[in-house]
Amino acid sequence: MILTVIQVIAAVLLIVLILLQERSAGLSGLLGGDSGGVYQTRRGLEKAIFYGTIFLAVLFVVLAILQLWL
DSSP letter assigned to residue 32: T
* Mean pLDDT, residues 44-63 taken together: 95
pLDDT of residue 52: 96
pLDDT of residue 54: 96
Q: Please, what's the b/e burial string for 36-64 (b: 16 or more CB within 10 A of its CB; e: otherwise)?
A: eeeeeeeeeeeeebbeebeebeebbeebe
pLDDT given at position 60: 97
Size of the chain in residues: 70
pLDDT category at 3 given cuts 50, 70, 90 is very high
